[in-house]
Amino acid sequence: MLRKIRITAATICFTLITLLFLDFTGTLHHWFGWLAKIQFLPTLLALNVGIVTALFVLTLVFGRIYCSVICPLGIFQDIISWVAGKWKKNRFAYSPAIYWLRYGVLALFIIAFIGGLGSLVALLEPYSAYGRIASNLFAAVYQWGNNVLAYFAERMDSYAFYSVDVWIKSAVTFSIAIATFMVFAILAWRNGRTYCNTICPVGTVLGFISKYSFFRPTIDIEKCNGCGLCSRNCKASCIDSKAHKIDYSRCITCMDCIGTCRRDAIKYVPRQKTQKTEQATEQHIPNLSNETGASRRDFLSVTALFTFSTVLKAQNKKVDGGLAFIKDKKVPNRATPITPAGSQSIRNLAQHCTACQLCISACPNQVLRPSNNLMTLMQPEMSYERGYCRPECTRCSNVCPTGAIRPITKADKSAIQIGHAVWIKKNCVVNTDGVNCGNCARHCPSGAIQMVPIDADILDSPKIPVINTERCIGCGACENLCPARPFSAIYVEGHERHRIV
Amino acid sequence: MGKINNKGIDRRGFLKVLGSGAIVSTATFYGCNPKNQTSGGGTNVEYVPTDKMTYRINHNTGDKVSLLGYGCMRLPTKPKADGEGELIDQKEVNKSVDYAIAHGVNYFDTSPVYVQGMSEHATGIALSHHSREKFYIATKMSNFDPATRSKEASIAMYHNSLKNLQVNYIDYYLLHALGIDGKQAYQERFIDNGVLDFLLKEKEAGRIRNLGWSFHGERSFFDYMLSQDIKWDFVQIQLNYVDWEHASEQNVNAKYLYNELTKRNIQAVIMEPLLGGRLSKLNEHLMVQLKQKQPEISTASWAFRFAGSLPNVLTVLSGMTYMEHLQDNIRTFSPLQSVTDADKKLLEEIAQMILKYPNIPCTGCNYCMPCPYGLDIPEIFAHYNRCINEGNIPKDLQDENYRQARRAFLIGYDRSVPKLRQANHCISCGQCSIHCPQQIKIPQEMERIDKFVEQLKQETIF
């Protein structure tokens, strides 16, 4: 019975969390976005004392139920393990705890965390590992399915489904996601929750507390016949059936043992011994004193002389019809990466982000993508060749569970400067094609771009954009809508620290 | 001779039976015509007559021209094998042209620039299957591109037309789209380079049988052309029941154009009888009004009847991409039922209602394409017009159907036009508006549509 309850709760949580990564319409986040925010490391990073305490209390009372119900990576491993179990039943065996590995990895994790090595943190953390898998692999399948439905909807004159672009946002992250998937699939297939009890830092931390949990599966020595079934079905390999002992720092409260025991010899009951229960009150507040990354800024100089041609291109058209070929836009070489409004500064993002990919999968305009920089691997950065950061959208700030991107309103966003636009003379179509443009100025939401004549004396001369960097918020509308291809004639340089303009 | 056999049948009896049987069978089967023509009045819609086409006589040459003209600007296309661009579907064209000629159509109108330059060649192939006297070919001097404005280049274009069409003489030759760039362009294209003189000489030589021009522009230029001392055999004008008295800003009312031509005894060839197809895709409640009057004829046929009823019209051109269009048009013109005064009154009411909708008067002629920055101009306008007709342009956030309309507009927009070709990419370079025969201010319209889309996306419509 308990096992069934656990499975039901776990299925619901898992489905909803997975959907948070898959649902590109953003509707699910209104109702169930909190599921991402109660994940252990994210809530720790967000300094959400209430939830952290609640999780500690939960573990103290019920054991590591978090690992069986709330952690999506845990449930993912459970699913694979269950499938494997259909082939070979009773395949687990007790193994003693490998303390050096658990504590070693935890120490490494904490060092990396403090040292600002975001990439290592991201690789080890369970929720981000799952997020990576969901947003790179599952999302693609989900989106293709959606596109099939959209195909039929279009033919039925229905607007219920619309097509979305399926694209690899970063080859590096995609490969890492595949590798992560393979590693966990193999580990789970072979031996259940190996990762959870040897490497996972969250598991180790919760393990400290669950050792003293109030409710715990307890073997009734009277009823036990020593058959060892419980031990052979324990995913966490923590039941020593001979000694009738269960290692509670590794027990993930999945109730499989209770479900499998034929003699009703294991029960989930309050602890018998009267030991003082220790309340873990100290929280792990990271020390944010370190600088990460020196700031380098390339100085852009535009020196080319330009000639202006006055030939009317229009008259050269020879025939009617056809569509012009459009080259893909290339990502410009930014000296400073751009981080979304709400992230406050590159440093804040790097120190709080666990690279779970939730914001990246929620971005509706194809702006956010994982970084390929080694220090900030897989953390979000922005680029505007496929879309721009639209003024009415605040999705990334709404979904971020760690506080790396703090929640902002539309009004806030219109005043937060995340970068500024830079004009590149030699790419501008005014020079290369000899036509009048002004598309950047036309679409700037803050009115930061004005068109001025190239030659101040000749008012009729073609107009070029000038940017008021005190008003530009770095949204990228100009970069995205600039007709110059493949390199935009106006692009956004990121700012290390955001400010209000 | 011989004995009378009472059991068998005798000759008289046999003849009686035969005769009465024949009469009875004829009477019985009279109604079952294999061509499915009901005898109770009113033709079945499946029937397309082959021998009832209405013809008009050319005052000058005596040509018997079918009132339905086959326009070759909108020939059916299919995608190229490599996916980049389109080719004309020659099989379909051949089939349609054969069908048209078999049903009495004999006027074919093309130009060197139609269908990305492929139209003349395809028309020539299709017509080569028929003997020369069976059809009249019309083509044009489309020397818009400055590179083709020299005398040599223009004459080369003329000879190229003859070659592509596989003919030795052209029945109807036009100076293409006079008026778009005003008098100056006319001077450059035809007068200064001596091309008009050349064409007049070709006419004398008999290689051009009728010389005329097509018009898209201002009234003053039209008057100027008619005031010249040149004998024009025909003029091609845009005429339909909306443009009759309600032409868009930069165009001229068709009533004026037609009357001026009639005064001078110059016959008119009609283009855009359906206003680029818009008069066949009327808004529901407008279409219903036409159908209530005559339920069995198509919406398009009203527009054709309007144009064809004018006596000084030589032929009415229709770009019939699909066989069904060709068949319906043949039915309409075989023979043409003139519009009555009541019909004209109804069409005038409908025209006024059409004008109430802020449609963009794009006829999908594709003269503006390709946009050098990749926009799909006709498709953007088509989507916008569609949404207007279907009521998917919400006026404000309080509209009942705001959510559905917004969704239908935005999703439909992405479905019809790839994101990179949408209105927000228009840089207002203005290279397109020069070519628009409807004188649409394309950059301004693009900006207007883009602003509207932004309002929808940001949900700030008011």
Q: Nearest Cβ partner of B145 from A159, A315, A443?
A: A315
Among partner residues B414, B425, B459, which is closest to A481 by beta-carbon distance? B425
pLDDT digits (tens, 9 = 90+) for B48-68: 888 899 999 999 999 999 999
Is the Cβ pair B414, A321 closer than 8 Å?
no
Pick A314's closest partner by Cβ from B366, B425, B434: B434
- CA B336/CA B329 separation, integer angstroms: 10
Which residues in chain A touch residue B86, judged by CB atoms under 8 angstroms apart?
322
pLDDT at B35 over 60: no
Write the pLDDT tens digit of every residue in B236-283: 999 999 999 998 877 899 999 999 999 999 999 999 999 888 888 887
* Closest A-chain CA to B447: A442
How far is B187 from B190, CA to CA, in rounded Å?
6
Whether the Cβ atoms of residue A286 and residue A114 lie closer than 8 Å to each other: yes
Q: Which residues of chain A have a CB within 8 Å of the CB of B413?
A: none
Q: What is the DSSP string of A9-69?
A: HHHHHHHHHHHHHH-TT-HHHHHHTHHHHTSHHHHHHTT-HHHHHHHHHHHHHHSSHIIII
From residue A264, alpha-carbon distances to A220, A221, A250 in Å are: 9, 11, 22
Residues of B in contact with A325 (CB under 8 A): 84, 374
SS3 string, A198-221, reads HCCHHHHHHHHHHCCCCEEEEECC
Residue B278: the pLDDT is: 84
Name the token pair of B302: 């009203």
Residues in A touching B113 (Cβ below 8 Å): 318-320
Please tell me if residue B285 touches chain A, with a CB cutoff of 8 Å.
no
A322: left (phi over 0), alpha (psi -120 to 50) or beta: left
Question: How far does B327 lie from chain A, in Å, by closest CA?
Answer: 26
- pLDDT at residue A315, as a whole number: 66
Asked if the Cβ–Cβ distance from B427 to A162 is below 8 Å, we say: no
Give the distance from residue A428's alpha carbon to the nearest chain B alpha carbon, in angstroms. Answer: 12
Instruction: Kindly list the domain boundaries of chain B, sorted by start residue.
Output: 55-356, 377-458
Query: Amino acid identity, residue A225?
Result: N
The whole-number pLDDT of residue A288 equals 39
Using a CB–CB cutoff of 8 Å, tell me whether B397 touches chain A. no
pLDDT at site B395: 80
Chain B residues with beta carbon closer than 8 angstroms to that of A313: 372, 429, 431
Structure token pair of residue A57: 């209390």
Q: Which pLDDT score is estimated for A89?
A: 87
What is residue A462's DSSP assignment?
P
Q: What is the pLDDT of residue B22?
A: 77
Amino acid B48: pLDDT: 85
Query: What count of Cα atoms within 13 Å lies in the side-chain half-sphere of residue B32?
Result: 5
Q: How far is B38 from chain A (nearest CA, A)?
A: 36
Q: What residues in B contact A437, CB-CB < 8 Å? A: 427-429
pLDDT at A275: 42
> CA A187: distance to chain centroid?
23
- Cβ distance A159 to B408 less than 8 Å, yes or no, reads yes
A388, A407, A393: which is closest to A475 by C-alpha? Answer: A388
> Which of B112, B424, B458 faces A391 most closely, judged by CB atoms?
B458
Residue identified by tokens 């070489």 is: A333
Closest chain A residue by Cα to residue B450: A443
Q: Do A314 and B435 touch (CB under 8 A)?
A: yes
What are the residues whose beta carbons fall under 8 Å from the beta carbon of B18, sequence distance 6 or more? Answer: none
Give the model confidence (pLDDT) of B74-84 as tens digits: 999 988 888 77
pLDDT tier for residue B32 given thresholds of 50, 70 and 90:
low
Is residue B370 less than 8 Å (CB to CB) from chain A?
yes
CB-count exposure of residue A400 (10 Å: 0-12, 13-18, 19+): buried
Place of tokens 């639209």: A390
Domain ranges of chain A: 2-270, 313-500
B358, pLDDT greater than 90: no
DSSP line for B227-260: HSS---SEEEEE--TTHHHH--TTS--HHHHHHH
What local confidence, expressed as pLDDT, does residue B398 receive?
81
pTM score of the predicted model? 0.77
Question: Are the C-beta atoms of B140 and B119 separated by less than 8 Å?
Answer: no
Give the CA dihedral B189, B193, B196, B199, nearest 10 degrees. Answer: -110
Chain A residue nearest residue B457, CA to CA:
A392
CB A496 within 8 A of CB A345: yes
To the nearest whole Å, the CA of A300 is away from the closest chain B CA by 26
- The answer, for B202 touching chain A at a CB cutoff of 8 Å, is no
Judge: B407–A154 Cβ closer than 8 Å, yes or no.
Answer: no
Contacts of A149 in chain B (CB under 8 A): none
In this structure, the strands spanning B136-141 and B107-109 are parallel
Task: Write down the pLDDT at residue B18.
Answer: 84
CA distances from B81 to A109, B85, B87, B284 (A): 56, 9, 9, 39
**Average model confidence (pLDDT) across chain B:** 89
A313-500, what's its fold?
A: Alpha-Beta Plaits (3.30.70)
pLDDT at position A102, please?
Answer: 92
Asked if A481 and B424 come within 8 Å (Cβ–Cβ), the reply is yes
For B218, phi then psi, to 5°, come to -95, 155
CB atoms within 10 A of CB A176: 22
A33 CA: distance to closest CA in chain B (Å): 23
Secondary element (H or E) of residue B173: strand B170-178
Q: Which residues of chain A have pLDDT under 70?
A: 273-315
Q: Do A320 and B425 touch (CB under 8 A)?
A: no
**Contact predicate B242/B351, CB 8 Å:** yes
To the nearest whole Å, the CA of A47 is away from the closest chain B CA by: 33
B411–A162 CB contact, under 8 Å: yes
What are the angstrom distances between the C-alpha of A259 and each of A2, A10, A80? 8, 16, 19
Instruction: Determine which of B365, B429, B451 to mutate to test the interface with A (most A C-beta atoms within 10 Å).
Output: B429
pLDDT at A273: 64
What 3-state class would DSSP assign to A131? helix
Count of A–B CB contacts within 8 Å? 111
Check if the beta carbon of residue B330 is closer than 8 Å to that of residue B316.
Answer: no
Higher pLDDT, A156 or B390: A156
Query: May I ask the CATH class of domain B55-356?
Result: alpha beta
Distance from CA of A446 to the nearest CA of B (A): 14
**Tell me, what's the pLDDT at B249?**
76
For the stretch B387-390, contacts whose Cβ atoms lie closer than 8 Å and that sit 24 or more positions apart, written own/partner, are: B387/B412, B388/B357, B388/B358, B388/B359, B389/B281, B389/B282, B389/B283, B389/B357, B389/B359
Query: Over the range A121-156, which residues count as b (16 or more CB within 10 Å of their CB) and which as e?
Result: bbbbbbbbbbbbbbbbebbeebbeebeeebeebbee
* Closest CA relative to residue A28, chosen from A395, A397, A409, A402: A395
